[in-house]
């Protein structure tokens, strides 16, 4: 049977190099080893080896036999049952929005105060007909729409929960003459929101302040005119020319 031990790293002293070389023939424990194997041909020496291991700072992590490898149970810090995780099992992101059909639509909650599976609960402000806020308290609505469907798919794929809320000033996000932003962009810049999901147009100013995803919907303006027979003069828009005879 072969036992495996972990050995702390030590700095070699220049003055002891010759002594260490002489001791290597008699002792398998060398400075700088991170792991080594010791053949236990004599079971009677196990107790002495354990004492030596404790003195040297070594501790047994497992043993190997022809039947296979057996690892000893590891004691993690603070009584934990496993190693520390590098990231949480599930993230929680704050998402700011603003209604704009058909991308983000507000629906009332059901009779028992919950939202349907195809919607996401969202906190919105009470407003009048002109969208002016009439209360600092938020009420619960159910958000649906194209952008909300996309948000639900992303949250499932990337494994995060959503805290969806309405932007307080009800603005999309534009800078003033001093460079201070309002609306959705301000929420992102000041760290109150992790992301924004709604119908937000990509502009040069906004793209210099925040990072946009790839656009998933593009719109444009088209000018339509009637088809007429005959040629129209290039100067027709100037009107009649009056000259002196």
Residue 200 phi, psi dihedral angles, 5° rounding: -115, 120
% of the chain exceeding 70 in pLDDT: 61
Contact 134, 127 (CB under 8 A): yes
pLDDT for the residue 28: 46
Q: Who wins on pLDDT, 28 or 199?
A: 199
pLDDT for the residue 214: 86
Q: Which letter, b or e, does each residue of 178-216 get, where b requires 16 or more Cβ atoms within 10 Å of its Cβ? A: eeebbbbbbbbeeeebbbbbbbbeeeeebeeebeeeeee
Q: Which domains does the chain have, with CATH numbers?
A: 2-79 (no CATH), 91-209 (3.40.190.10)
pLDDT band of residue 55 (cuts 50, 70, 90) is low
| Averaged pLDDT for residues 18-32 | 48
CA distance 71 to 30: 23
pLDDT for the residue 44: 46
Max avg pLDDT among 10-24, 59-73, 150-164, 219-233: 150-164
pLDDT (tens digit, 9 = 90+) per residue, 59-95?
666 777 877 777 676 666 666 666 666 666 678 999 9
Structure tokens at 235: 């100067």
CA distance 192 to 96: 9
Peptide bond into 115 cis (omega under 30): no
pLDDT (tens digit, 9 = 90+) per residue, 152-183?
999 999 989 999 999 999 999 999 999 999 99
Cα angle value 112/113/115 (rounded, 5°): 105
pLDDT (tens digit, 9 = 90+) per residue, 117-144?
899 999 999 998 888 889 889 999 999 9
Which distant-in-sequence residues (6+ apart) come within 8 Å of 28 by Cβ? 36, 38
């Amino acid at each position: 049977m072969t036992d495996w031990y972990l050995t702390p790293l030590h700095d070699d002293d220049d003055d002891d190099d010759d002594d260490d070389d002489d001791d290597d023939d008699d002792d398998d424990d060398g400075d700088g080893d991170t792991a080594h194997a010791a053949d236990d041909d004599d079971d009677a020496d196990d107790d002495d080896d354990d004492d030596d291991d404790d003195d040297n700072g070594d501790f047994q992590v497992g043993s190997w036999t022809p039947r296979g490898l057996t690892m000893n149970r590891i004691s993690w810090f603070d009584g934990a049952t496993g190693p520390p995780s590098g990231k949480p099992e599930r993230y929680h992101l704050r998402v700011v929005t603003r209604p704009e059909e058909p991308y983000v639509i507000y629906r009332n909650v059901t009779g028992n105060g919950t939202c349907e599976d195809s919607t996401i609960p969202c906190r919105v402000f009470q407003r009048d007909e002109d969208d002016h806020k009439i209360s600092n308290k938020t009420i619960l609505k159910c958000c649906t729409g194209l952008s909300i469907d996309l948000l639900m798919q992303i949250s499932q794929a990337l494994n995060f929960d959503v805290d969806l809320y309405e932007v307080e000033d009800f603005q999309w996000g534009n800078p003033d003459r001093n460079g201070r932003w309002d609306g959705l962009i301000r929420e992102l810049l000041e760290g109150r929101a992790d992301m924004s999901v709604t119908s937000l147009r990509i502009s040069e100013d906004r793209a210099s302040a925040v990072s946009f995803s790839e656009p998933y919907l593009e719109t444009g303006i088209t000018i339509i005119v009637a088809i007429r027979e005959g040629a129209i003069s290039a100067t027709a828009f100037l009107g009649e020319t009056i000259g002196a005879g």
